[in-house]
Amino acid sequence: MRLLLLCASLVAIGVWAKHVDLPAPYNDFCILNNHTNRYDPGDQFNVPWFTIDMDADPSTRWVEVATRYKEEINELITTLVDFITPLFPNALEFVDGTFAETIEKFPNPYRAELISISEAADVPIGRIVLYNIFYEIFTVCTSIVGQDPSGSMYHARNLDFGLFLGWNPNAHEWEISQHLRKMILNVNWMSQGKVVFKSNHFAGYIGIYNALKPGAFSLTANERFMAEGGLVGILRWLLDEDPNGKWMTMLARETMIVSNTYQEAKDRLMDIPMLSPVYYILGGVNPWEGAIITRSLDKTDQLNELDPHDANGWYLLQTNYDPDTDPLYLDDRQTPGDACMRNLTQKAVGFEGIYNVLSSKTNLNKLTTYTVLMHVATGRFETIIQGCPGDCWPF
């Protein structure tokens, strides 16, 4: 209830602030305006790489990761439970009981992978299940697909997580976001000795928010806020009312495995029933292959693609609001993001340019854990840990 009241208060403040014409929280944005470059390709080496062998037994795939990050996984879940318990006193009982029982609802290989992570990290299985579906309903983020003048496609995103989950007044950081920055890793998904696709993860999390299939397509998933949202999907899932629905990050993972072209991925992501609404952002290998797929639980509500007939059609930028609606005033990452992309210009599209856009307020904020950069044609994939010290939204 306190969480709902806090969310409602933010909406009310935003409406009031806009009505009285107070300055937006992104007055000073676009670091490129100050001729500043934050991109250092060496920063990618702060994030380790692991291999997941899809030909191996699922119960062994994540053991190395779960063992290496055992302490971090336990600390994160403890912090999450400590936050939830005062709001819902029986939450831990419910998680360790009801969520533990739901492990049987997961098809393999997911079931075997989750159980092995639970055992290797020494965390009760119900908490590992919660950890792996919590991101379906509690992330904010910015994704960009941009085409350079030669028609080469670049795809990037900031992943923001942790709003309302334990503000640390001494560090001026969200506690969950702080924990997650220590758990970021990259994965090469292998089969028959070859890399099938690349992705990044928080340790212990098996779904996919960002991935690249070299020479084929790239994919990011942004949460979509709507009345029939992820909480409804979770309830249906718990009650066995939607046995065919897919978690958005697991559908993303399956798409990376079975689809071999941009068009195949787009067709698949538009039609399959889901348990949570989402924006899927796709980039291809050919000119003008870029799309935002706005999904509800049972259909695609909107499709936006790169447009050669639009002066600004060389890029797409998606936050957590429908492309044809205005974002919440106090959470407007779209306006400064668009301004920074147009200030960048198509000539400067590339890792450095887009990274600097995503390092500008408010796309870079207190919740930002990392930026991932992808180039489909070359298979180049970089994850860079992010943070926003000093005066940043939110708080």
Q: How many CB atoms lie within 10 A of CB 244?
A: 8
Half-sphere exposure of 52 (CA within 13 A, CB side): 28
Q: How far apart are CA 50 and CA 67, in angstroms?
A: 13
Q: How many CB atoms lie within 10 A of CB 75?
A: 15
3-state DSSP helix/strand/coil % of the chain, to nearest 5: 40, 25, 35
- How far from the centroid of its chain's Cα atoms is residue 287's Cα? 25
Q: Which alpha helices (DSSP H) does the chain contain, by range?
A: 2-19, 58-61, 63-68, 70-87, 91-94, 100-101, 110-121, 125-134, 175-181, 230-238, 248-258, 262-271, 334-344, 351-358
Both tokens assigned to 216: 């084929």
DSSP 41: G
> Is residue 141 flagged as an active site residue?
yes
What is the per-residue burial (b if ≥16 Cβ within 10 Å, else e) of 37-70?
Answer: ebbeeebbeebeeeebeeeeebbebbeebbebbb
Q: Evaluate the CA torsion angle 111, 112, 115, 121 in order and state its sign.
A: negative
Q: What is the CA radius of gyration of the chain?
A: 20
For 16, phi then psi, to 5°, come to: -65, -45
Please name the residue that has the structure tokens 């989402």.
278
Sheet holding 368-375, edge to edge: 315-318, 139-147, 153-161, 368-375, 380-385
For 389, phi then psi, to 5°, come to: -70, 160
Q: How far apart are CA 211 and CA 188, in angstroms?
A: 10
Could you say which of 30, 141, 388, 392 is catalytic? 141
Q: Which residues are catalytic?
A: 141
